[in-house]
Structure 1
């Protein structure tokens, strides 16, 4: 836990599309946003961040 938020456990999922990272060791991680994230500074995603290459 960091500031009351549990760490995310990341495990390789071979069912994900090829352009995503594969063959990594299982690990725990925690995101930290230095700029304002309306979801919270420790949340994995920031709705204000966009990517012109995202298809979804």
Structure 2
């Protein structure tokens, strides 16, 4: 957020582009963290058997 303001104040396209890129990275990391947290929580609390996809043997 500070880098975005700094890019606007200094009229620097490079700083602004880097700040937006960093914001996107942060958003992606947060989404991955939430996804993994949800998957791991469901795995720990799940009592139903898993079904594999494929042809039956």
Structures share fold, TM-score greater than 0.5: no
* Structure ranking higher in helix proportion: 2
* Structure ranking higher in strand proportion: 1
**Which structure exhibits the higher relative contact order, with contacts defined as CA atoms closer than 8 Å and separated by 6 or more residues?**
1
TM-score, structure 2 normalization:
0.20
TM-score, structure 1 normalization:
0.21
